[in-house]
A and B are shown apart, each in its own frame.
Chain A
Amino acid sequence: MSATAAADRTNVYQRAAQALRNTRLGEAVRRTTDKFRFARHRAVAGLDDFEALREHARSIRAHTISHLDYYLAQLAGHVEAAGGHVFFAQTAEDAVEYVLEVARRHNVRTVVKSKSMISEEVELNPRLAASGIEAIETDLGEYIVQLGNDRPSHLIAPSLHKSREEVAELFSQLAGEKLSADTPTLTRFARAKLREAFLEADMGITGCNFAVAETGTICLVTNEGNGRMVTSLPRVQVTLMGMERLVPTLEDLDIMLQLLPRSATGQKLSVYTSLITGPRRAGEADGPEELHLVIVDNGRSKLLGTPYQEALHCIRCSACQNVCPVYRHIGGHAYGWVYGGPIGAVITPLLRDVADWGELAQASSLCGACAEVCPVKIPLHDMLIGLRKDTQAVRAASWEERLLFRLWTKVMASPKGFRRALAAARMLQAPLVRAGRWRWAPPPLSQWIAERELPAVASRSFRDWWRERAASSTGTKAAGVRPAAKAHTTPRGGSRP
């Protein structure tokens, strides 16, 4: 469970190649992300002025994050005024310790959890288990992931890398009988199992989609109602939130709730949107006796005041994952930590360590699809370029790459260098290219030709042609006089050496 890539020594290149070989994984990921992205597309098209809404949301996030200390203090004040407890956790360890302490105080034996990426980030579950506390994930996807001793691979659909058959297998093991792989059977089974857990649990642990500073309200968005159960049945509620996950007012929350479900699953509204302010009050029918809000920094404040501050605007909708061609081929685990896809490639090095995790920024074709769909307009692909640069400042690129770019700079610095390089390339390629096809190439071109053909450098470059043409036209170079296209007999002449 806690086998994050910090422990395993693979790099992202190896993990990506390995994930790619698992064709079932790629198919499962593309199937679900396709469903999400096309639904998102329809939902967004159905809005009068999506761009205006997006810009509004961006400005709310920008304002909030640039006044984070003010709004966090306001939030804490209102949570406490409503009878809740607030704890600021500087590190993952602080957050975990606090939760364990609360659990010990209440003699907690069983915990039910609703989906929370931050609890994955601080690695809460293994620590609960080590303290003899049974924690049960109640989001269906998380439940599947937990049963498989696996990790979530997507922000909102944690088990999307698993096929229905794999889920049936897991559930059958637990049931002690063979269950069929149809959705009603599987969900009925999970529902029965989870219902027992809800009734038994002493503590409910949730994540937090948004906290509202002006009221001290915690907003949970779910489709299964499990969030509501986790926060109404157990005696104690603990909510973990990343320190950036807040909005100033309920009005701002309204804007975010228009964007989050649409960007995530294409829904106009999630099935359950729960607003929780404080523990149960006198006369109320349900709710916890005690409520704790754990606000987790864990590296986030490092981003404040840097060119990457906007990464804290993220509302974890997963739209960038769903459109990312890299994520769609390799899934989330290949990124090595809890956050996959473009936002993961950006925040993992920033929250953890650029020297160790900066290589994630390479796992992108810089296609920009992520930034295009981001509901709060985070320039993710520009941040990836920035991270590629920053990574080099703390950890030099490979000597091969440095040599290559030194050579490239020499070649490209002047037309003379360029001409010479073309001449050299023509000589060097002559024995290697047959019928326009490279038989062998040195690295890094060997990587290219492993699965693709590579064209040869043209025997006559464009600049050669231009010079010859200028020489032959000897001053009669009038536009449109040349006979059209007749000379153009080798349209892709470049592919023939």
Chain B
Amino acid sequence: MRVALLVTCLVDAFYPGVGQSTVRVLERLGVSVDFPERQTCCGQPAFNSGFHDEARIVAAGLLDAFAESECVVSPSGSCVAMVRHYLPKLFAGTPRETDARALADRTYELCEFLVRRLGVVDVGARFPARVVYHASCHGWRGLGLREEPLLLLRHVQGLELVDLPYMEDCCGFGGTFAVKFAPLSAAMGRAKEAHAAATGAQVLTGTDMSCLMHLDGTMRRQGSPMRVMHIAEILDQTVDGAEALGVAAASEEVAV
């Protein structure tokens, strides 16, 4: 199987490790990965802010980038929701409407792809730590991504998955909302942090680096000991990988 990676601009620029993990997890499962370098951004920041002409210019680049790809996979529920639900609307009535619809039909979020398309729930990862999962809104509601990430996490060796109270409540990121309503966005982030902290988890994970960037930034500022990791990074962990991460409990268990 061959897939094209939609890495997302955020991961590309700020979190290349998440992109690398995504590639490694897919390759470990025998999927061959391509990265069309024409891609930049799905256009969501402008689209959600009401700048639809600007969004169309940028998203057209995405249509070009993946024109030849049979199947597109992305480590972001939010960007996939943009591609699947909003690009067809954004290009409706333009010459590229068909391209947008076609891309919408063949683009998958990573967990969705692994579980629904590949039929894999155990990716052979090992990560001995107590983990909470935050359901990002655009994955949870936008894509209906419910069981897929949880199934993958439950099959990670040594991982103890604990329930996050108010799991599906928004973390407060919200794109430009995070700066337009900065105090409110930050307060929502702290509420999420408090719910996560109450579980005693060592790691908070999710499917979207945007939300996780906001939560990681909130936790660092609050001095929280909790680590924030994208689910691809957890699925990428093997015995050696967990050691490299240096999560407290993990290192206790695997240290030699």
Contacts of B142 in A (CB 8 A): 368
Q: Is residue A366 contacting chain B, with contact meaning CB distance below 8 A?
A: yes
Q: A367-B141, A415-B40 are in contact. Are A409 and B46 (CB under 8 A)?
A: yes
CB pair A408 B45 closer than 8 Å: yes
Contacting residue for A465 out of B16, B41, B174, B186, CB 8 A: B16
Q: When each residue 133-168 of chain B gets 1 if its CB lies under 8 Å from chain A and 0 otherwise, what string results? A: 000011001100000000000000000000000001
A424-458, CB < 8 A from B: 425, 437, 444-445, 447-448, 450-458
Contacting residue for A452 out of B30, B50, B168, B218, CB 8 A: B218
Look across to chain A and name the residue whose beta carbon is closest to the beta carbon of B228: A492
Contacts of B228 in A (CB 8 A): 492
Contacting residue for A365 out of B172, B182, B217, CB 8 A: B172
Contacts of B213 in A (CB 8 A): 454-455
CB pair B19 A405 closer than 8 Å: no
CB pair A462 B16 closer than 8 Å: yes
Q: A450-B186, A460-B16 are in contact. Are A484 and B61 (CB under 8 A)?
A: no
Q: Is residue A412 contacting chain B, with contact meaning CB distance below 8 A?
A: yes
Contacting residue for B236 out of A367, A387, A458, A488, CB 8 A: A488
User: Complex formed: what's the CA distance from A480 to B116 in Å?
Assistant: 21
The B interface, classified by DSSP as helix, strand, loop or mixed, is helix
Q: Is residue B28 contacting chain A, with contact meaning CB distance below 8 A?
A: yes
Q: Is residue B202 contacting chain A, with contact meaning CB distance below 8 A?
A: no
| Total contacting residues, chain A, CB less than 8 A | 75
CB pair B179 A448 closer than 8 Å: yes
> Which of B30, B43, B187, B191 has the largest count of A CB atoms less than 10 A from its CB?
B187
Contacts of A325 in B (CB 8 A): 169-170, 172, 188
Contacts of A330 in B (CB 8 A): 184
Q: Is residue B48 contacting chain A, with contact meaning CB distance below 8 A?
A: yes
CB pair B186 A451 closer than 8 Å: yes
Q: Is residue B68 contacting chain A, with contact meaning CB distance below 8 A?
A: no
User: Complex formed: what's the CA distance from A372 to B169 in Å?
Assistant: 12
B57-92, CB < 8 A from A: 57-58, 61
B21-46, CB < 8 A from A: 21, 24, 27-28, 30-33, 35, 37-41, 43, 45-46
User: Complex formed: what's the CA distance from A326 to B172 in Å?
Assistant: 8
Q: Is residue A399 contacting chain B, with contact meaning CB distance below 8 A?
A: no
User: Complex formed: what's the CA distance from A485 to B115 in Å?
Assistant: 21
Q: Is residue B15 contacting chain A, with contact meaning CB distance below 8 A?
A: yes
Binds A, one of B6-14, B93-101, B103-111: B6-14
Contacts of B47 in A (CB 8 A): 385
User: Complex formed: what's the CA distance from A368 to B85 in Å?
Assistant: 13
Q: Is residue A245 contacting chain B, with contact meaning CB distance below 8 A?
A: no
Q: Is residue A461 contacting chain B, with contact meaning CB distance below 8 A?
A: yes
Contacts of A425 in B (CB 8 A): 13
Contacts of A180 in B (CB 8 A): none
Q: Is residue B200 contacting chain A, with contact meaning CB distance below 8 A?
A: no
User: Complex formed: what's the CA distance from A362 to B47 in Å?
Assistant: 13
Residues of B at the A interface (CB closer than 8 Å) are 7, 9, 11-21, 24, 27-28, 30-33, 35, 37-41, 43, 45-52, 54, 57-58, 61, 137-138, 141-142, 168-170, 172-175, 177-189, 191, 213-214, 216-218, 220-221, 228-229, 233, 236-238, 240-241, 244-245
- 5 A–B contacts from the bound complex (CB under 8 Å): A17-B183, A363-B181, A408-B54, A408-B58, A453-B221
Give 8 closest A-B pairs by Cβ, nearest first.
A365-B174, A388-B50, A452-B217, A367-B170, A451-B186, A485-B241, A462-B19, A367-B137
